[in-house]
Amino acid sequence: MTDASARKRIGIVGARGYVGSELIRLVAAHPHFELAFVSSREREGQRVRDHESGYAGDLAYVAYGPEAAAGQGVDALVLALPNGKAAPFVAAVDAIAPQTLVIDLSADYRFDDGWYYGLPELTRGNYGAQRRISNPGCYATAMQLAIAPMRDVLEGAVQCFGVSGYSGAGTTPSDKNDPDKLRDNLMPYALTGHVHEREVTRQLGHSVEFMPHVAPHFRGLTITANLHLARSVTREEAVARYRERYAREPLVRVADEAPWVSAIANAHHVDIGGFAISDDGRRLVVVSTEDNLLKGAATQALQNLNLAFDLEETAGIPL
């Protein structure tokens, strides 16, 4: 394991967003990490502690461009930027400090075979000390964990109905994060071809059809996955598969009852349950919930940082 006294310096780009805020708190409280800088153009020069109640240090926000961020000599650079914004920072690191670990939370590199796709519960065996890690999408995490234990008996496409709190739409104003428009409402969007649909289909090697919606609550998402099976299974067999698959995974919890999204807010794990079986045993419905900002983003990034630095994977993660 890594020497606990050798603290790793972490830089965060995109620190004003909801996920960036969670990352600041997690990294600042981590026993083996320290914040080297937090970059936000909108907050340049302002003290971080004036915006983040979980941070008591003296850092002020900076507004680093790609070259400046790459040149800070950090051990890891975490990119919490919107989709389509990561490439200049990655190019700068490649040119200036190629050994710097980069974790990208956007979708920009999830389809790049040169990057490690970091859903540790399913992919840690594929990690080979890569210095470029792509963090999975929030919905994609919940879907894959809900489907993976039954992967070998699936028949036909899996349908996933998803509902997320509006924090998943980020801080840039839109209909999908406008509380007034969402009040008493459920807003469907991107009902075919969503990036997480393509992401999960690619990672599992099996067709997944995803129908996302936004609800009026702030954080937390739920997936209801409809799995058609090649053979009949009992509910007991299905539940046993999930319990066995995730028995040694502290951030995945399996229960008989379907989990409620209200119970997952501010938690760092995924809840999986429900397990409804059709009369013929050929259809299984599973429910998966997570906090989209934590296990769906920041907590998973911390898992990947720990993995890359040969630390306990749950170091710094409240269990």
pLDDT digits (tens, 9 = 90+) for 70-94: 999 999 999 999 999 999 999 999 9
Share of the chain above pLDDT 70, in %: 97
Give the C-alpha separation, 149 to 144, whole Å. 9
CA distance 120 to 249: 10
Nearest CA to 302 out of 127, 131, 76, 18 is that of: 76
What's the pTM value of the predicted model, to 2 decimals?
Answer: 0.95
φ, ψ for residue 227, nearest 5 deg? -110, 120
Q: What is the 3-state secondary structure (H, E, C) of the chain?
A: CCCCCCCEEEEEECCCCHHHHHHHHHHHHCCCEEEEEEECCCCCCCEHHHCCCCCCCCCECECCCHHHHHCCCCCEEEECCCCCCCHHHHHHHHHHCCCCEEEECCCCCCCCCCCEECCHHHHHHHCCCCCEEECCCHHHHHHHHHHHHHHHHECCCEEEEEEECHHHHCCCCCHHHCHHHHCCCCEECCCCCCHHHHHHHHHHCCCEEEEEEECCCCCCEEEEEEEEECCCCCHHHHHHHHHHHCCCCCCEEECCCCCCHHHCCCCCCEEEEEEEECCCCCEEEEEEEECCCHHHHHHHHHHHHHHHCCCCCCCCCCC
Whole-number Å distance between alpha carbons of 113 and 98: 18
- CATH 3.30.360.10 in the chain: give the residue spans: 138-291
Alpha-carbon gap, residue 195 to 244, rounded angstroms: 30
**Within 13 Å and on the Cβ side, how many CA atoms surround 111?**
11
Report the b/e string of 240-266 with b at 16+ CB within 10 A. ebbeebbeebebbebeeebbebeebbe
* Average pLDDT of the residues of the chain: 95
**Residue range(s) of every CATH 3.40.50.720 domain in the chain:** 8-108
Give the pLDDT band (50/70/90) at residue 236: very high
Q: Is the pLDDT of residue 2 over 50?
A: no
Buried b or exposed e, range 80-108, using 16+ CB within 10 angstroms: bbeeeebeebbebbeebbeebbbbbbbbb
Q: Which of 74, 81, 138, 251 is catalytic?
A: 138
Which CATH number describes the domain made up of 8-108? 3.40.50.720
Looking at residue 176, its pLDDT comes to 74
| Domain 138-291, CATH among 3.40.140.10, 3.40.1160.10, 3.30.360.10, 3.50.50.60 | 3.30.360.10
Per-residue CA distances from 86 to 39, 134, 240, 259 (Å): 14, 11, 41, 34
Higher pLDDT, 197 or 172: 197
Q: Is the pLDDT score of 115 beyond 90?
A: yes
Mean pLDDT, residues 95-122 taken together: 98
Whether 274 has a pLDDT exceeding 80, the answer reads yes
For residue 113, give every residue at least 6 positions away whose Cβ sits within 8 Å of its Cβ, in sequence order, or none: none
Judge whether residue 1 has pLDDT over 70.
no
Q: How far apart are CA 271 and CA 317, in angstroms?
A: 16
Question: Could you confirm whether 160 is annotated as catalytic?
Answer: no
Residue 71 confidence (pLDDT): 98
